[in-house]
Structure 1
Amino acid sequence: MSERDFLLEIGTEEIPARFIDPAVEQLKELAAAVLQENRLRYREIKTFGTPRRLTLYVCGLAEVQDPLVQEVRGPAVKVAFNQAGEPTRAALGFAKSQGVEVKDLVIKSVGPVEYVFAVLRQEGRPAMEVLPQICPALISGLHFPKPMRWGNLEVRFARPIRWLLALYGSEVVEFTYAGLRSGRVTYGHRFLSRGPLEVEHAAHYFEIMEKGRVVVDHRARREMIWRQVQELAARIGGRVERDEELLAEVANLVEYPVALCGSFEESFLELPGEVLITPMREHQRYFPVWDAQGKLLPRFIAVANGNEEHLDTIRTGNERVLRARLADAVFFWKEDLAVPLARRVEDLKKVVWQENLGSLYDKVERLVGLSRYLAGVFHLAPQEREKVSRAAYLCKADLVTTMVYEFPELQGVMGREYALRGGEDPEVAWAIFEHYLPRFAGDALPATMAGRILSLAEKMDNLVGCFAVGIEPTGSQDPYGLRRQALGFCHIVLDGRLVFSWRELAEQAYEQYRRQVKLDLPREALLSRLAEFFAQRLRGIFTERGFSYDTVEAVLAVGFDDMAGALERLQALAAFREGEEFEAVHTAFTRAHNLSRRHGSTTVDYAALVHPAEVDLYRAIREVQGAVEEHLAQRRFLEALKAVARLKEPVDSFFDAVMVMVEDEKTRNNRLGLLKAVATLVLNVADLSKLVISQAG
């Protein structure tokens, strides 16, 4: 089949950097779907993006659509033909309605009944007829977080569209969109290329873009920037840590990158490292430079959009901007240090945390209470408990400092630094910083016990408060970051193997709120919703760690109030499924659980046992129960499951010898109690009925 390459370039005003990568992925998915829908085969789809263009390049796009073959079902064969095999009026009418001859009808079975089918074949249209309809659909199908309109057009896009390039091989795909007519003209770099550039053939596009000083491939720009940054850092005896997020953003700010190295006064190095890095990275998009010992150098690397001409002027401008920001930071630092952190806590009374949940000072009071509760649960020494309480009291004070007001990203960081400079215990200072951890996916978890406790208290306070006043994540909306908070909570518990009841902590948080504000959700309803919310997070964490979905469900089904215990039970069950004793326990549990599922008690009247098989099972249960309880107390969950395997033979003998569902109520309840006791032993670890067991043969 003949094929050509297809090129679509959407030329725009500068698109925000954060829009580009999602738009490139979106364009690829959209193109694949639209081409499939239109029965146009292709070899490969590539998409690219720069600040001034989004590009779709389809390699080997078929010149003609695949034919459309449809089978339309008609009447049943016994209705379509008489006993002599001649077509009836039903067959003749159906064939005529579909535009085919009766002789061309085919017979196919649908279940037990045979029907006649008309096979309709529609020849494919040339790609050049289809592409003019596809192109506008591709452009209008792209969505952006904040699209805009321009002129008097109803069209919405990331930024105003300025030109449209569309070629199928060497032919222009003609269409109009946003008041523009497509053609073979594109534009190069805004400053390094002059005038329009004509593309004779789709295959020439990348060569022409290179001449126009545009690196179209955003991935290539990223690596180009990284090489330049590394080379510059090495020249000054430094190194730069690879920062994928910053690299991606910088790559999407330029079309032809050139890196440059700037400097600032060494006196600024007296500031904490994060105070220097934040303006560089978050505000100016610069790469900080470290020496071999990991100390910041008074240097930075920036990336300009152009060539090496006027680079000295650009460097001077960047140095001037950074110097001003760092001078501000020095001023904020000195001003903030003049007031001890503890004296700022009172100022939190003037700051509303959430309109229905009180001030930041109210939150601090709750965090002190929750931290004291957890310190008691974890049996911390009195001195350590005081450090936790002190950290909870001070943890929000930096929010009313000038530095954090100017650089919100430094919350927690400045709390730690001001606490250290103010003479607070280092453990208190680090807990202030760590209570925000983890701040994003892959971020570090709190390393100190005080930090873990305060972080858990903070996250539970946020979750309980928001859920209690009706603020829950919906779809993609999660303004308070509650999913992230719950994930962080789970990771801290699991990573630290912290054994406690999250429900009891939630109840403590609920009671503290209830003393301060009016809550909309009753306590039990809140706990139920939180349980569902945490379950979703744990499912994700456990499956990411490689546990099968059904193993996870089996463990979560019997509870996860002790999250660390849930992980241990999960590990035990996963290992147990690989062992020889699994089948014995699974069989015994299944037979016992299926019958006793609705029976609510494990009570058995020994004196009323009437058959030796009942007595044997009762004695076996008592013996195994003691072993299981001892294993559970020591958190030896795998051994607990193995102990239950000893019940396989007594359970089988019981089922062979007696009928459970007899008319006599006392006998029936006794037997159901025995089976319930067997099932309960396993349910201490997992609900094996949730497991998907493949059947051999």
Structure 2
Amino acid sequence: MGKTLLLEIGTEELPSSFVDTALAAMPALARAKLEALRLPHGDVRAVGTPRRLTLIVSDVAERQPDLDEEVIGPPETAAFKDGKPTKAAEAFANKLGLSLDAIQVVDKPAAGKTKAGRYVVGRRKEQGRDAREIVGKALTELCTEIPFRKSMRWGAGDATFGRPVQWLVALFGDQVIDTSFAGVRSGRTSKGHRFLSTGAVEIPSADAYVAKMRDSHVIVDRNEREKTMMDRIVAAAKAAGGTYDPSPDLVSENASLVEEPFVVTGAYDPAFLALPAAVIRSVARGHQKYFCVQTSETELLPSYLAVVNTANDPARISKGMDRVMRSRLSDAQFFFGEDKKAKLEDRVEKLAGIVFHNRLGTVREKVTRIEKLSGRIAEALGLPEKTRGFVARAAHLCKFDLVSLMVGEFPELQGDMGRVYAETAGEAPEVANAIRDHYRPIGAEGPVAQDDVSACVALADRLDTLAGCFAVGLSPTGAADPFALRRACIATLRTLLDRGATNPAYAKLPLSELFGWAYDGIEGKKLDLSREETVAKLRDFTHDRLRGLIANATSNSVADAVSGASAVEYPVHTLARARAVYAAVTEGRAWLEKARIVAKRLSGISKESKPVLHDKSVFEKADDAIIVEVVGKVDASTRELHTEAAVTAALAQAEDLAQRLDDVFTRTLVNDPNDARTPRRLELLSYGAQCMLRIGDFSKLG
């Protein structure tokens, strides 16, 4: 059994994002360092708080194993010239600490990137060293490699870190590892909670660290700290007469802001409850990071919960928090009153003062394009005239709240405030809801627009952004995506897939036409790409996003199998094929292996022969008649693959094709050079390959 290795880096308070990033990176850094040192180990984990980043590695070997390995050097032709060793041979021998007499030339087979041939080899032998002698330097290196978005330099030293380093604890079992970083030398002395623990905290051993810190009011384990925090949040909300307002981001951030979480309850004047619940939530969540107390999603209580880092004098803490909440809610109340006085049409016209992009015009111009495009989509969907009227009105108003005072102060309320103000002005619920919901989905997992009015405006908004940005050369490069085009593309696909699952009209919308319609709407602007070039680039861009969504819903191999070049045109149909194929794969159908083999053979044939569906009258052999029969059945069953049921039926025919063609291939030479009908047979088989590819490329199924 080995010993536990502990490294604690004590710092001034780190931002929560810095803590999360560092803790995510430290385990991989530690594994790499220990592997380079040839030190076997057990579990590696990183824990921490705003004042400390800690690495804990269990069961680390106390000593390196002795090393005795063969090392392959340069080829013989590089190591010797005219029978004499070259500098390459000397460098290789010096690297291993050997004399030239100790290296030899041997024949080696091909392995990895090394080609077969004669190479110089030698044996590297090293006696294993004590872990305590070698791990200190590795810990120093690890400290320098922890990533931060921004690092600081302080004092006279050259070291950089997220915040100034105050202390280091480095232990191997119960013994101190001698190391240093940023001018601080390691020891076994840590610090407890800034307010609730006095004096230094001596860590007797690495295994005692977590419990010792807990006794000093520092919960270093993030999961334990979050659980403690949420237990206290739930109890405080219940005492206030409701439940806490759920927000995963709020939970995560608060857990990274404290060393031991305490909850203080605050209150505000019930008169503020006349504000929309979304406004109060934004005020509480914003800079304050407070949890609202609620009885339902739309009904709040005049209380909130704050996670703080100390239990000292909660009454004074609450008094200060109440003062800040009252001030910010008063501002929101003023904004709300002023916004309701403005006419919606005036707000729409003010959008002309906001530039969407200097080459694509203002937000007002974008709204005009959204109106036209959403109307065209609604018409293509065959929506009733009344619904198309709602679409037109919602598209016209969809961005008006961007110039409101409330959204100017709380940008995260765009859409939500538009819905409230539209409803107050007497707009139809379908229109008001679409102003809010056309921003959906928000994030990768958020719900999409749930009705036709919202979906039409949501699609038009994203499609206009995609077509416009691509047409003026703003397609994403690398990690840079300032206009969130990847997110817009995924939102477009998710809307089509979700709505198309229950309404076949969405499934029949060709994506190329949607991109083309969006391009057509950009009038009076100088564009870099033609309509055809823009659509082609968008198809390629969307293909990658669609493949990712399908892989998440099924598997990587199924996504590869169904994601041919034409898959992006009708995403709903492609997902239906993927799900049916995935079901066949997960059921472990035995015929799939034959399908892979047959598909591979047909693929080879199809490269050489054009696909033609010949009648059986042009053949004479019984096996040719079988090929005509099964190919004809597969052709008929794969022409309309729009639903999972249709694909499942086609798979049954593909199963028949695979099994019967496998029998034919076993007993017949289909590429017989002496048979005059071979060219037509190959054309027929090529046609069969095309039919199978309508379902998917079976050769890619893992």
In structure 2, the partner of 1:156 is 160
Contact conserved, 2:38 with 2:65, CA < 8 A, in 1? yes
In structure 2, the partner of 1:637 is 647
1:325 aligned counterpart, secondary structure:
helix
Contact conserved, 1:387 with 1:427, CA < 8 A, in 2? yes
Q: Name the CA distance, whole Å, in 1 between partners of 2:126 and 2:669.
A: 69
Does the C-alpha gap of structure 1 residues 592 and 171 become closer, same or farther in structure 2, counting only changes over 3 Å? Answer: closer
**2:560 is the counterpart of 1:553:** yes
Does 327-336 or 282-291 show the bigger shift?
A: 282-291
1:306 aligned counterpart, secondary structure:
coil
Does 434-443 or 618-627 show the bigger shift?
A: 618-627
> What do residues 80-133 of structure 1 show as CA deviations (whole Å, max 9, x unaligned)?
xxxxxxxx999xx99999659999999997579999965432112222221331
2:360 corresponds to which of 357, 361, 365: 357
For residues 502-651 of structure 1, what are the structure 2 equivalents within 5 Å? 502-513=511-522, 515-545=523-553, 547-557=554-564, 559-560=566-567, 561-576=569-584, 579=589, 589-600=599-610, 602=612, 609=618, 611=620, 616=625, 620=629, 624=633, 627-628=636-637, 631-632=640-641, 636-643=646-653
In structure 1, the partner of 2:392 is 389
Contact conserved, 2:11 with 2:167, CA < 8 A, in 1? yes
1:72 aligned counterpart, secondary structure:
strand
**2:372 is the counterpart of 1:369:** yes
Does 175-184 or 199-208 show the bigger shift?
A: 199-208
In structure 2, the partner of 1:83 is none
- The structural deviation recorded for 1:557 is 1.3
The one-letter code sitting in structure 2 at the alignment partner of 1:690 is K
For residues 359-438 of structure 1, what are the structure 2 equivalents within 5 Å? 359-438=362-441
**2:683 is the counterpart of 1:678:** no
Does the C-alpha gap of structure 1 residues 76 and 265 become closer, same or farther in structure 2, counting only changes over 3 Å? Answer: closer
Q: Name the CA distance, whole Å, in 2 between partners of 1:683 and 1:455.
A: 33
Does 456-465 or 185-194 show the bigger shift?
A: 185-194
- The structural deviation recorded for 1:209 is 2.8
1:597 aligned counterpart, secondary structure:
helix
The one-letter code sitting in structure 2 at the alignment partner of 1:263 is A
In structure 1, the partner of 2:28 is 29
Provide structure 2 residue ranges, at least 5 long, that are not aligned to the other structure: 77-82, 111-115, 501-505
Contact conserved, 2:469 with 2:475, CA < 8 A, in 1? yes
**2:287 is the counterpart of 1:271:** no
The total of aligned residue pairs comes to 674
Q: Name the CA distance, whole Å, in 1 between partners of 2:480 and 2:470.
A: 14
Contact conserved, 2:631 with 2:688, CA < 8 A, in 1? no
RMSD: 3.6
- The structural deviation recorded for 1:378 is 1.0
Q: Name the CA distance, whole Å, in 2 between partners of 1:129 and 1:483.
A: 50
2:427 aligned counterpart, secondary structure:
coil
Q: Name the CA distance, whole Å, in 1 between partners of 2:93 and 2:324.
A: 79
- The structural deviation recorded for 1:558 is 5.2
Does the C-alpha gap of structure 1 residues 653 and 241 become closer, same or farther in structure 2, counting only changes over 3 Å? Answer: same
Q: Name the CA distance, whole Å, in 2 between partners of 1:591 and 1:218.
A: 55
For residues 158-177 of structure 1, what are the structure 2 equivalents within 5 Å? 158-177=162-181
> What do residues 112-164 of structure 1 show as CA deviations (whole Å, max 9, x unaligned)?
99999654321122222213311221111011112222345433221122222
Does the C-alpha gap of structure 1 residues 213 and 646 become closer, same or farther in structure 2, counting only changes over 3 Å? Answer: closer
- The structural deviation recorded for 1:451 is 1.3
The one-letter code sitting in structure 2 at the alignment partner of 1:56 is L
1:9 aligned counterpart, secondary structure:
strand
Contact conserved, 2:190 with 2:200, CA < 8 A, in 1? yes
- The structural deviation recorded for 1:587 is 6.1
Q: Name the CA distance, whole Å, in 1 between partners of 2:52 and 2:276.
A: 40
2:521 aligned counterpart, secondary structure:
helix
Does 191-200 or 311-320 show the bigger shift?
A: 191-200
Q: Name the CA distance, whole Å, in 1 between partners of 2:141 and 2:331.
A: 49
Does the C-alpha gap of structure 1 residues 519 and 154 become closer, same or farther in structure 2, counting only changes over 3 Å? Answer: farther
- The structural deviation recorded for 1:506 is 0.7
Contact conserved, 1:613 with 1:653, CA < 8 A, in 2? no
Q: Name the CA distance, whole Å, in 1 between partners of 2:700 and 2:62.
A: 52
Q: Name the CA distance, whole Å, in 2 between partners of 1:570 and 1:107.
A: 52
Does the C-alpha gap of structure 1 residues 43 and 662 become closer, same or farther in structure 2, counting only changes over 3 Å? Answer: closer
Does the C-alpha gap of structure 1 residues 46 and 591 become closer, same or farther in structure 2, counting only changes over 3 Å? Answer: closer
In structure 2, the partner of 1:80 is none
**2:125 is the counterpart of 1:121:** yes
In structure 2, the partner of 1:303 is 307
> What do residues 375-432 of structure 1 show as CA deviations (whole Å, max 9, x unaligned)?
0121101111111111111111111111001001001111111111111111111111
Does the C-alpha gap of structure 1 residues 223 and 671 become closer, same or farther in structure 2, counting only changes over 3 Å? Answer: same
Q: Name the CA distance, whole Å, in 2 between partners of 1:350 and 1:539.
A: 39
> What do residues 642-662 of structure 1 show as CA deviations (whole Å, max 9, x unaligned)?
345665658976997786586
- The structural deviation recorded for 1:445 is 1.5
Does the C-alpha gap of structure 1 residues 181 and 435 become closer, same or farther in structure 2, counting only changes over 3 Å? Answer: same
Does the C-alpha gap of structure 1 residues 75 and 525 become closer, same or farther in structure 2, counting only changes over 3 Å? Answer: closer
The one-letter code sitting in structure 1 at the alignment partner of 2:492 is F
Does the C-alpha gap of structure 1 residues 632 and 169 become closer, same or farther in structure 2, counting only changes over 3 Å? Answer: closer
The one-letter code sitting in structure 2 at the alignment partner of 1:304 is V
1:323 corresponds to which of 305, 323, 326: 326
Q: Name the CA distance, whole Å, in 2 between partners of 1:40 and 1:392.
A: 63
- The structural deviation recorded for 1:315 is 0.4
2:244 aligned counterpart, secondary structure:
coil
- The structural deviation recorded for 1:539 is 2.4
> What do residues 350-397 of structure 1 show as CA deviations (whole Å, max 9, x unaligned)?
101123322111211111122112101211011111111111111111
Q: Name the CA distance, whole Å, in 1 between partners of 2:396 and 2:174.
A: 70
Contact conserved, 2:630 with 2:656, CA < 8 A, in 1? no
> What do residues 454-507 of structure 1 show as CA deviations (whole Å, max 9, x unaligned)?
112222222222222232333433322222222222222222223111111011
In structure 2, the partner of 1:229 is 233
Does 219-228 or 43-52 show the bigger shift?
A: 43-52
Does 469-478 or 44-53 show the bigger shift?
A: 469-478
Contact conserved, 2:70 with 2:124, CA < 8 A, in 1? yes
The one-letter code sitting in structure 1 at the alignment partner of 2:226 is R
Q: Name the CA distance, whole Å, in 2 between partners of 1:270 and 1:584.
A: 68
- The structural deviation recorded for 1:604 is 5.4
Does the C-alpha gap of structure 1 residues 615 and 540 become closer, same or farther in structure 2, counting only changes over 3 Å? Answer: closer
1:573 aligned counterpart, secondary structure:
helix
- State TM-score, norm by structure 2: 0.86
Does the C-alpha gap of structure 1 residues 131 and 589 become closer, same or farther in structure 2, counting only changes over 3 Å? Answer: closer
Does the C-alpha gap of structure 1 residues 631 and 651 become closer, same or farther in structure 2, counting only changes over 3 Å? Answer: farther
- State TM-score, norm by structure 1: 0.87
1:291 corresponds to which of 265, 290, 295: 295
- The structural deviation recorded for 1:638 is 2.4
> What do residues 49-79 of structure 1 show as CA deviations (whole Å, max 9, x unaligned)?
11111112233433322323321359999xx
Q: Name the CA distance, whole Å, in 1 between partners of 2:337 and 2:93.
A: 91
> What do residues 170-219 of structure 1 show as CA deviations (whole Å, max 9, x unaligned)?
44333332233333332222233344444454444445433443222222
Q: Name the CA distance, whole Å, in 2 between partners of 1:671 and 1:203.
A: 74
Q: Name the CA distance, whole Å, in 2 between partners of 1:612 and 1:60.
A: 71
In structure 2, the partner of 1:690 is 700
1:339 corresponds to which of 335, 342, 358: 342
Q: Name the CA distance, whole Å, in 2 between partners of 1:123 and 1:504.
A: 70
Does the C-alpha gap of structure 1 residues 385 and 73 become closer, same or farther in structure 2, counting only changes over 3 Å? Answer: closer
- The structural deviation recorded for 1:511 is 1.9
Does the C-alpha gap of structure 1 residues 285 and 614 become closer, same or farther in structure 2, counting only changes over 3 Å? Answer: same
Contact conserved, 1:184 with 1:200, CA < 8 A, in 2? yes
Does 677-686 or 423-432 show the bigger shift?
A: 677-686
